Structure 1
Amino acid sequence: MDDETTLIGEGVVLETAPASIGLRTAGALIDALVIGSVYLGSFLLLAQLLPDGLDLAAMSAAVLVHLVLVFVGIPIAVETATRGRSVGKYATGVRIVRDDGGPIAFRQAFVRGLLGVFDLWLTAGGVALISALVTRRAKRVGDLLAGTYALKERAAKSPHAPLIMPPELVGWADTADVRRMPDGLALTARQFLSRAPRLNPTSRAQHGSELGARVASYVSPQPPAGTSPEALIAAALVVRRDREYTRGVEQQRLDSEIADAVHRLPHGVPESR
């Protein structure tokens, strides 16, 4: 597992690439401009609405409430309503999500909004930048306490390499028995094959050996001696895919035949025998 994947409870690996500090900074600047514009416009409107002769204490309270509503209330409301988006995040293709990859709720938005006063506004983003530089997934203080991070929604999806049966295992695959693998293992193996060419050779060999051993426990007989772990993984996934596809096609054919037979009977009811 790495910073670009999340293992959810069902054992499925999700692609969850965190947003870079550059993207987060750009989104924060856009949000700051939007919030600043809203504050200035609403402040001018408030000045027109406040009655003349209002005492200093009441005026100060009104200004303070207005300040809190704009700089804290609006970000919390927007992130809650959009499940982690804002104008800046929408422009940069970023969304705030929980650490497990799920959408945030009011609780997370509330914590982030309160802490944003400290790590964004009062320090001009300095604390947020330092926190992002030293934490996993570039989290600011609000993210650390809320259990969230910024997800790069427009991350380029690395295309899966096509699954091809290794020529040296064609004969073995014709008679091999590949038991059903857990979906999490099958997905992890599929992603490994797609990423293998970009991995460090040492990491590639290590992960390949570990995954190959796990996959081998679901096949019988074992492949010929000297078969590489990657070849075994590819062959097992091809056999699994082709056989599940064949079973699906056969099931559709049987369902279609049963449906035709039922519709030919009176009132669509099967005949009693």
Structure 2
Amino acid sequence: MNSSATPPASRAGGANPYATSATRDAGPGQPGEPAAADRAGPAGSGGSGGSGGAGRSGGAGRASSAGGTTAPSDPFRPVGLPTDLIVTGEAVALEARPAMLLSRVGSGLIDVAVQGLGGALVLIIGLSLASNTAQANTAMILALVTAIVLIPTTVETITRGLSAGKVATGVRIVREDGGPVRFRQAFVRALAGAIEIWVSFGSLAIITSLVNARGKRLGDLLAGTYAVRSRSGTGVRAPLLMPPDLAAWAERADIRRLPAAPALHARIFLSRTSSMRPEPRQQAAQALAAAIEPYVAPPPPWGTHPERFLAAVLVARRDREYAAATRRQATEHEEAERMRHLPYGIADWS
């Protein structure tokens, strides 16, 4: 299997069938009516089951841009897929959706109440132990620091981005790369919150969240964090299955190494097809198939539905990579066993 990620300039099999069918009878930048042969049905995937509506709607449909979806002009981020994907260091795509402003406001009100109770408790204990005005003033300052900085920093550090209000509203604070927050991020957020939440009564935090695409407040901008929805009803993605009619072709096909972006988006797309509207679903399938097809030789049989083509390519890549990893692990195990034995002719006195 060739490891190059550069698509071949020319190969047997002719032009890209998905690029040709996507632009047939349409002007530049407009998705055309798919060919009748491209309406064979959705891919053989547990997550892409449904009515098969992706192949039954013609014309140049226009998808809504709400909810952070992309336009159909970019084949690597086609319509219907989220724009806020996070790719971790292990090449895992995380679909972290920013929390809604109302959820953050509700979370903030609950957290302020809890922090106020904690500060009041510290103040009561300090005033009961104070014997003069200076000690009383020190108790008041300590209560303010506890409520504004100490409690939120400690709670977010221990719980990795949670608090009483965030648990109640289904919100979690994460880093820009999707990882859990640490002491530094929690401390910076707490310091910024002293001004934007306590001094400005939350008005500065609300204004900053409204003008930011991810709903970040000032503390998030300084700490490199943002709030995401921790409750989602997506569940576990069903595993991809090889379409039976493409199994023989996929076994013989030379699948080159795919770029990370279209491969990740194809996997997410196949897990979301049942929840997409027919026209955006067809446009996304055509765009992804057109982007991935140049890396496969020979091309799939003419008339193969783009969703079935994507499923076959991803399943073949998964199975081949698993087989290669299994062989590599067996080889490493055999080498480790040989290294543990002494050379020939040397007695083992252990």
Question: How far off is 1:116 after superposition?
Answer: 1.3
Per the alignment, residue 294 of structure 2 pairs with: 217
Question: How far off is 1:241 after superposition?
Answer: 2.9
Question: How far off is 1:223 after superposition?
Answer: 1.1
Q: Supply the distance in 2 between the matched residues of 1:253 and 1:46 (Cα, whole angstroms).
A: 66
Per the alignment, do residues 174 and 155 of structure 1 end up closer, same or farther by CA in structure 2, a change over 3 Å counting?
same
Range 42-51 or range 189-198, more displaced: 189-198
Q: Percent of pairs identical after alignment?
A: 44
Per the alignment, residue 314 of structure 2 pairs with: 237
- The answer to whether the aligner puts 1:18 opposite 2:98 as a matched pair is yes
Partners of 1:159 and 1:194 within 8 A in 2: no
Q: Supply the distance in 2 between the matched residues of 1:12 and 1:164 (Cα, whole angstroms).
A: 20
Matches within 5 A, 1:142-153: 142-153=219-230
Question: How big is each residue's C-alpha offset from its partner over 1:24-69, in whole Å with a ceiling of 9 and x where there is no partner?
Answer: 23332332222121122111111111114x36xx644542343123
Q: Supply the distance in 1 between the matched residues of 2:321 and 2:124 (Cα, whole angstroms).
A: 66
- The answer to whether the aligner puts 1:118 opposite 2:198 as a matched pair is no
Q: Supply the distance in 2 between the matched residues of 1:102 and 1:250 (Cα, whole angstroms).
A: 32
Per the alignment, do residues 165 and 49 of structure 1 end up closer, same or farther by CA in structure 2, a change over 3 Å counting?
same
Higher RCO (CA-CA < 8 Å; seq separation 6+): 2
Question: How big is each residue's C-alpha offset from its partner over 1:231-260, in whole Å with a ceiling of 9 and x where there is no partner?
Answer: 21111112223334455666677788x59x
Partners of 1:17 and 1:155 within 8 A in 2: no
Task: Look up the SS of the partner of 2:131 in the other structure.
Answer: coil
Per the alignment, residue 123 of structure 2 pairs with: 43
Per the alignment, residue 177 of structure 1 pairs with: 254
Per the alignment, do residues 227 and 122 of structure 1 end up closer, same or farther by CA in structure 2, a change over 3 Å counting?
same
Partners of 1:160 and 1:191 within 8 A in 2: no
Q: Supply the distance in 2 between the matched residues of 1:233 and 1:173 (Cα, whole angstroms).
A: 11
- The answer to whether the aligner puts 1:191 opposite 2:268 as a matched pair is yes
Task: Look up the SS of the partner of 2:185 in the other structure.
Answer: helix
Range 247-256 or range 207-216, more displaced: 247-256
Per the alignment, do residues 166 and 48 of structure 1 end up closer, same or farther by CA in structure 2, a change over 3 Å counting?
same
Q: How many residues align?
A: 265
Per the alignment, residue 216 of structure 2 pairs with: 139
Range 9-18 or range 143-152, more displaced: 9-18
Letter paired with 2:264:
L
Per the alignment, do residues 121 and 253 of structure 1 end up closer, same or farther by CA in structure 2, a change over 3 Å counting?
closer
Question: How big is each residue's C-alpha offset from its partner over 1:206-248, in whole Å with a ceiling of 9 and x where there is no partner?
Answer: 4333322332233211112233332211111122233344556
Partners of 1:11 and 1:184 within 8 A in 2: no
Q: Supply the distance in 1 between the matched residues of 2:107 and 2:117 (Cα, whole angstroms).
A: 15
Q: Supply the distance in 2 between the matched residues of 1:172 and 1:251 (Cα, whole angstroms).
A: 26
Range 98-107 or range 154-163, more displaced: 154-163
Letter paired with 1:30:
I
Question: How big is each residue's C-alpha offset from its partner over 1:65-94, in whole Å with a ceiling of 9 and x where there is no partner?
Answer: 431232223222332343322233244443
Per the alignment, do residues 62 and 179 of structure 1 end up closer, same or farther by CA in structure 2, a change over 3 Å counting?
same
Per the alignment, do residues 77 and 163 of structure 1 end up closer, same or farther by CA in structure 2, a change over 3 Å counting?
closer
Letter paired with 2:303:
G
Per the alignment, do residues 61 and 42 of structure 1 end up closer, same or farther by CA in structure 2, a change over 3 Å counting?
closer
Task: Look up the SS of the partner of 2:86 in the other structure.
Answer: strand
Partners of 2:119 and 2:146 within 8 A in 1: no
Task: Look up the SS of the partner of 1:225 in the other structure.
Answer: coil
Task: Look up the SS of the partner of 2:214 in the other structure.
Answer: helix
Unmatched runs of 5 consecutive residues or more in structure 1: none
Partners of 1:75 and 1:113 within 8 A in 2: yes
- The answer to whether the aligner puts 1:27 opposite 2:107 as a matched pair is yes
Partners of 1:13 and 1:184 within 8 A in 2: no
CA RMSD in angstroms comes to 3.4
Task: Look up the SS of the partner of 1:101 in the other structure.
Answer: coil
- Taking structure 1 as the reference length, the TM-score comes to 0.77
Which of 149, 162, 165 is the matching residue for 1:72? 149
Question: How far off is 1:178 after superposition?
Answer: 2.3
Structure with a larger share of its residues in helix:
1
Letter paired with 2:111:
D
Range 39-48 or range 119-128, more displaced: 119-128
- Taking structure 2 as the reference length, the TM-score comes to 0.62
Letter paired with 1:198:
S
Partners of 2:123 and 2:139 within 8 A in 1: no
